[in-house]
Structure 1
Amino acid sequence: MTAIDDLIAAGRALVDAGLSPGSSGNVSVRAGDRILMSGTGTRLGALQPADIAELSPEGAHLSGARPSKEVSLHVALYAKNPTHRAVVHVHSPSAVALSCLEPWSAHSAIPPLTPYALMRVGQTPLLSFVAPGDPAMGALITDSPYTFRAALLANHGAVISGEDAATAVDSTVELEEACRIALLTEGKPRRLIPAHDIAAITERWGMPWTDPADQ
C-alpha cells in the first residue's frame, strides 16, 4: 500500500469505529520528507486522492487539497514523536466529554483504570483550550513537559500519533474506550491499577507514563 492508501484506509477505519462524525476530524501520514493530510471539510470515510493535501515537515502547503486548519497539531506531534508516521485528530464523543472535565492528574486526564489503555496509549495529558485552528494548538504540544503519544484538547477532542496509520487508529479506538470508562466511573470510588503495575506495563509496551513522585 502507498502512503495515500494508508491515509484513506485510516479515515475509513475511524468512521467505521464511530469516531469521526460528519466531516469532523483529520488524519495525516508522513511519507519521506512530506506530510500527507486529509483536506479541510472532507469526510474521513469517503477520502479520495484529490481530497489529500501535501505539506512540508513544517506544515507549508505544497500541493493538493486545502489542508485542515489544525495542521499545527500534526506538525507538533510529529516533532514530539520523531519515529511516528501518522497522526489522528478526532472529536469522538467520549474524548470530547472527558476533555470538558477537570483532568485526573497533571500528566494524564485519564486515570489508570484498564491495562489496555496503558498498553496502547499511556498517559494522556489535558492541554489548555485554544480555538480550533489557532496555531497556538501546536505550541501546547511543543511546550508540554510530558512525553505522550496522545493528548486531550480541552473542550475539543483528542490527538494521537502512532508508528504507522493502523497503530494510530488502534490507539484512537483504545483512547475513546478509556475515556468512556473514565466517564462511567466518574464520581464513584474507583479502584486504580497499582503504581508498580502501571510502571511494569508501560515499560513493557514502551508507552509513556510519568511517576507522580518524579514531577
Structure 2
Amino acid sequence: MNSTLKEQALRAEICETGASLYQRNYTVGTAGNISARLKDGWLITPTDACLGRLTPAQIAKVDLSGKWVNGDKPSKTLALHRAVYDNNPQAQAVVHTHSTHLVALSLAGVWHDQCVLPPLTPYQVMKVGQIPLIPYCRPGDPQVAEQVKLLAASVRGVLLERLGPVLWHESVSQAAFALEELEETARLWLMLINKPEPLSAAALDELYRVFGARW
C-alpha cells in the first residue's frame, strides 16, 4: 500500500474507532484522543474534538518535526503521543480516553502504582499486561511525556491519575481493544466487594508458555 492510501486508511480507522468508543461510552463529550504513526509524521485527532463525530479530513497531520501540516488543530497531548513513538519503534498507534471505571480506579486507589490492577483474567494478562500509574498533572503537561518516555518500551500503556488510560499498540484497533480490556477489568475490580486473589504464578507462567503473554 502506498503512503497516500495508507494515510487514507488510517484516517478512516481513527474515525471508526473513535465512533465505536464514543457510542459505547468509553469516552464522552470532547474527551480523549487517538493517533497513528506515518513514515513522514503522525496523524492525531484535533483538540477539543468529539471522537464520535470525526471525519477523515478533520484528523490533524503533523510532520516529523511536529509542524502542523493539515487537518484541524492537533490535540494538545501530541507531546505525550510522541513520547511513545520516539521510545517504542513497535508502537504504531496510541489511544487515550477518560473511561469511567479507570478514572474511578485512580480516584479510589489503584492496586499498586507500578501495576494499577492485579492479574485477574487471562485476557487482561494477554492483551494488556502491567499498567503503571502516572500521578496527576494537568492535561497537556510536558511532565507526563517525560515520564512516559521512560516507560514506553516496557509496558503497553499507562493510567493518568484523574484523566484516564493511554494505550499503545501495533494498530489503532489493537490499541483500542487493549484499552477496552483494561477498562472492563477495572469495572470488574470496582464492582466486587470481596476482592479476588490474583491469578497464581503457575497460571501466569502457563499463559506465558502457551500464548507468549508477558506480565
TM > 0.5 fold call: yes
Given the two structures, how large is their TM-score scaled by the length of structure 1?
A: 0.88
Is the Cα–Cα contact under 8 Å of residues 24 and 41 in structure 1 kept in the other structure?
yes
The one-character-per-residue Cα deviations of 1:134-192 (angstroms, maximum 9, x if unpaired) are 11111111134981112110111110011111111111111110111121236x34221
Measured at CA, do residues 69 and 165 of structure 1 come closer, stay the same or move farther in structure 2, by a change above 3 Å? same
Please report how far the alpha carbon of residue 196 of structure 1 lies from its aligned counterpart in structure 2 after TM superposition. 2.8
Alignment of 1:1-215 (within 5 A): 2-57=9-64, 59-144=66-151, 147-185=154-192, 188-202=194-208, 204-209=210-215
Distance in 2 (CA, whole Å) between partners of 1:60 and 1:206 is: 39
Equivalents in 2 of 1:206, 1:139: separation in Å? 30
Q: Which SS does the other structure have where 2:129 is aligned?
A: coil
DSSP 3-state at the match of 1:182: helix
Listed one character per residue, the Cα deviations across residues 70-95 of structure 1 (whole Å, up to 9, x for unaligned) are 11221112233311211100001001
- Could you say what the CA RMSD is over the residues aligned between the two structures, in angstroms? 2.0
Between 90-99 and 137-146, report the one with greater CA deviation: 137-146
Cα distance, 1:150–1:25 mapped onto 2, change above 3 Å? same
SS in 2 for 1:111: coil
**CA 1:145 to 1:5, structure 2 compared with 1: closer, same or farther past 3 Å?**
closer
1:26-70 CA distance string (max 9 Å, x none): 101112232101101111111112321111345442332111111
For structure 1, the residue ranges without an aligned partner over 5 or more in a row are 210-215
Instruction: Work out the CA distance in 1 between the residues paired with 2:60 and 2:103.
Output: 26
SS of residue paired to 1:4:
helix
Q: Distance in 2 between matches of 1:108 and 1:71?
A: 25
CA distance, structure 1, for counterparts of residue 78 and residue 125 of structure 2 = 27
Percent identity between matched residues is: 34
Q: CA contact under 8 A between 2:84 and 2:152: conserved in structure 1?
A: no
Farther off after superposition, 25-34 or 76-85:
76-85
* SS class of match (1:55): strand
Superposed CA deviations along residues 114-148 of structure 1, whole A, max 9, x for unmatched, are 11111111111111111111111111111349811
CA distance in 1, matches of 2:66, 2:108: 31
Q: Secondary structure at the match of 1:159?
A: strand
Separation of aligned partners in 2, 1:96 and 1:174 = 15
Give me the TM-score of the superposition, normalised by structure 2.
Answer: 0.88
Alignment-mate amino acid for residue 64 of structure 1: G
Query: Do 1:107 and 1:146's aligned partners in 2 also have CA atoms closer than 8 Å?
Result: no
How many angstroms apart in 1 are the aligned matches of 2:201 and 2:72?
46
Tell me the matched-pair count: 208
Match in the other structure for 1:213? none
| Amino acid of the structure 1 residue aligned with 2:144 | M
Q: Please state whether the residue corresponding to 2:108 is helix, strand or coil.
A: coil
Which amino acid in 1 is paired with 2:101?
S
Cα distance change of structure 1 residues 203 and 139 upon mapping to structure 2, 3 Å threshold: farther
Question: Structure 2: where are the runs of 5+ without partners?
Answer: 1-7
